[in-house]
Amino acid sequence: LEPKIVHVVGFCEADHAATPPDIIESAKITLGIIQNFSLGAPQILDDPRIKKRKEELVEETKYLLQALKNLAADKVKDPWTDPKTLAQAIHQGLLDAPHLAGNPYATGKVHTQIRDGACYAVDPQSGNLLSEKERISRI
């Protein structure tokens, strides 16, 4: 994995909003992990399970990207970065997460489960996995 950009999540975010010292500490933790990883981490991209999941995610993401494009107003050049389109997608549940429940600007209706180390959307009644196409069709 060689990302061009790394999104640092504060270690404290489950407890409180990050303060400047928290952000600095989180960045140091992240830097340490990146340095350790570069010193000889296992080649996880060679694992067939990782390759399979990557292919699944790429295919599933196409449905979400198309739904965002369909949601955008006609004059929007780039629906994937347009603030109004993204806000509408969050409000309608296209972009959703369980922890958004109770947020007045989001739905928080998606149910997820970890299976075989991967996070999937699931039907809340049956527990069956939902493809992204199926999840979007239910919105």
How much of the chain is in helix, strand and coil states, percent to nearest 5?
45, 10, 45
Please check whether residues 92 and 71 belong to one and the same domain.
Answer: yes
Kindly state whether residues 19 and 59 are assigned to the same domain: no
135 CB-contact burial (10 Å; exposed 0-12 / middle 13-18 / buried 19+)? buried
Q: In this structure, are 100 and 49 located in the same domain?
A: yes
82 and 30 in a common domain: no
State yes or no: pLDDT of 1 exceeds 70. no
Same domain? For 113 and 126 the reply is yes
Q: How many domains does the chain have?
A: 2
Q: What is the pLDDT of residues 11-62, one digit of tens each?
A: 998 888 899 999 999 999 999 988 888 888 778 889 999 999 999 999 999 9
Residue 44: per-residue pLDDT: 83
Is 54 in the same domain as 68? yes
Question: What is the extent of the structural domain holding 9?
Answer: 1-41
pTM as predicted = 0.70
Residues 98 and 129 in one domain: yes
Tokens coding 10:
């504060």
Instruction: Indicate whether 86 and 31 sit together in one domain.
Output: no
> Is residue 34 domain-shared with residue 52, that is, in the same domain?
no
pLDDT value at residue 40: 81
Q: At what angle do helices 48-71 and 83-92 cross, to 10 degrees?
A: 110
Question: What are the structure tokens assigned to 104, written together?
Answer: 């007045």
Q: 66 and 13 in one domain?
A: no
